[in-house]
Amino acid sequence: MFHMFNYSVKLIGISFIFIVFLSMISCQQNDMKNISKTNVIFFKNQSPLKDCGIKVKNTYVILSEDSMGDNLLKQIDKIVVKDSIIYVADTYMKSLFLYDIAGNFISSVGKIGEGPNENLSLSDFCVDNKGNIYWYDGIKNRVQVYNNEYSLVGHYKIPFKAECLQWDNGDFIFSLAPYNSDSLTKGKCLAYTDSLFVLQKTLLDYDDNIDLNVEFFSPFISIPNGVSYNRAVNNNVFILQKGNISESFFFDFGQLNVKEEYLSNLSTMQEEGGEYCYIASTPIFYKDLVLGCINKSGEIFSFIFDLNEQKSYIGSVLEYDSKNVNIPLSLSDRGDIVSFLNQDIYQDFNNDKTLSKEMKRVLNDGGFLVCFSKLEI
């Protein structure tokens, strides 16, 4: 099985595959004619990230340990920050943990097991504007709903096979599995349901060139004007609004785009070596900037793309310091870029004078810091 990204492993060996040629993208655009605006992001004229002229103010929060002083988390796959609550998914532990904005543990949500109210997997989760939590179990093909007091209040069987979900102003978006066989969802990338998870419409067609062995976590990120979506393997990032695609962005890496022959067997590309470049996580759109990370021939780089200047700024994650943006995972409801640090991502943390002794102790012990980045544009 080819794993798209594990934030807790050494970054030198991280394997992401998100990018292919425009003519061979994994979700074909029968819906493109209905998109109001299509953009191309050319990754040329690259400059060092430190030269972008944007001041970054980072604030770090320690995610607290349990009463025995042990880390609750083994890895972090997704972070959502809403109403001063930090929601963290750990698929290795099949756990969803909640912390206050200072990093103090509040509660865990959901139980793992074979009972009627227990889950077999944590495929994804999302949170609505009332604090209700939606846990998607891809094995049981079911969504469990927890209220803002973290009690189970219901569950819904999903009428199709999905990989991930996202709340969207009362409705839900599902990233569909590529092996659905029913007439409504077969060959489709996205499904929209109402609040009771009744299918309303589907969007985007899968291409035949897709590696079914690819594993990844949520392809959705909430942004101010909708939801940013990018499903492996795809050059395109789509902005979703109320069941429609309002805008798309095609990331063009020129001669470094992943070649067609590797699309259905992505592991082969990395085994054979050579130069390549692809998106490493769903980008965040913030004002006139696009933030994310890319993989250039096995090394991960954070990037900021200025839509006005049409210029990209990149910096190796291995050279991260407290003045830079880390790997962005989400956008908080306060407008902060949310990421995290552990000793694998930030290997030089012991020499960072901006981190407290307690923060360094936590990192040395295998713990995590959540990072809130404010951009002064």
Tell me how far apart the alpha carbons of residues 262 and 113 are, in angstroms, rounded to a whole number. Answer: 38
Let me know: does 41 contact 251? Beta carbons within 8 Å: yes
Q: pLDDT tens digits for 92-103?
A: 899 999 999 999
pLDDT above 90 coverage of the chain, percent: 56
Beta carbons within 10 angstroms of residue 286's beta carbon: 18
CATH code of the domain in which 195 resides: 2.120.10.30
| Helix (H) and strand (E) counts in the chain | 2, 30
pLDDT at 61: 96
Q: Which of 63-67, 72-76, 78-82, 371-375 has the lowest mean pLDDT?
A: 63-67
Token couple for 67: 């009463």
Distances from the Cα of 312 to the Cαs of 25, 49, 251, 265, 293, in angstroms?
Answer: 23, 8, 11, 29, 11
| Short-list 251, 254, 247, 211, CA closest to 235 | 251
Name the DSSP class of 207.
Answer: P
Containing structural domain, residue 157: 2-376
Q: Which of 20-29, 54-63, 65-74, 279-288 has the lowest mean pLDDT?
A: 20-29
| End-to-end CA separation in angstroms for the chain | 41
70 contacts: CB under 8 Å, gap ≥ 6: none
**Residue 171 confidence (pLDDT) above 60:** yes
Tell me how far apart the alpha carbons of residues 325 and 339 are, in angstroms, rounded to a whole number. Answer: 8
Helix (H) or strand (E) holding 241: strand 236-241
Q: How many independent structural domains does the chain possess?
A: 1
Q: Please compute the mean of the pLDDT values over residues 272-287 and round it to a whole number.
A: 87
Let me know: does 78 contact 340? Beta carbons within 8 Å: no
Q: Which of 184-188, 209-213, 327-331, 359-363 has the lowest mean pLDDT?
A: 209-213
Q: pLDDT tens digits for 173-231?
A: 999 998 899 999 999 999 999 999 999 999 999 877 776 666 667 899 999 989 999 88
Q: Across all residues in the chain, what is the average pLDDT?
A: 85
